[in-house]
Amino acid sequence: MRLGSFPPANAGSVIGVVFGGLNILFSSFLVVQTLRLRFVFDETAFELKEVDSSGLVDSGENVIVGGQNRWTYDSFVNWDFFPNVDIPILVYFKETQTPQDKWEEGPGQLDKVGGGQVHFFPAIANCKQLEEQFQIRGCAKFDS
């Protein structure tokens, strides 16, 4: 037995349990969101909807900047997938429909190019379909 060793011999297993637990919690969150949310493209706008027993319903106000979770296609300034559409982790889009005084709230402060409110969401949808719909609907995109 070693006396006075740091970190304790079982520290690796404690850290593993803590990080494993956090991973399980985050994964559970993504599963719940995948089951309860849908991204909808209609004739004029991209919208976040919730699933309930009666079908798709309004998802309520945006938790960061307020307002409806619905953005017209002509308000799009940019969109993309991180790190890319083949291995997506986050979906990004930027729009000018949100009032300008809200553009600096949330992740908006991270992107000063082109003006607009930045939105990120986990890639919990078929990103190839999202990409196709962004293109079909004429959503603006910066050339990379």
64-74 confidence digits (pLDDT tens): 777 889 999 99
Measured between alpha carbons, how far is 142 from 131 in angstroms, rounded to an integer?
Answer: 14
Report pLDDT digits (tens) over 23-46. Answer: 999 888 878 777 778 899 999 999
Largest CA distance in the chain: 71
Single-letter code of the amino acid located at 12: G
Measured between alpha carbons, how far is 28 from 36 in angstroms, rounded to an integer?
Answer: 12
Q: For residue 88, what are the contacts with CB-CB under 8 A and spacing of at least 6?
A: 81, 82, 123, 127
Question: In the structure, what pLDDT confidence band is assigned to residue 125 with cuts at 50, 70 and 90?
Answer: confident
Range 44-61 average pLDDT: 87
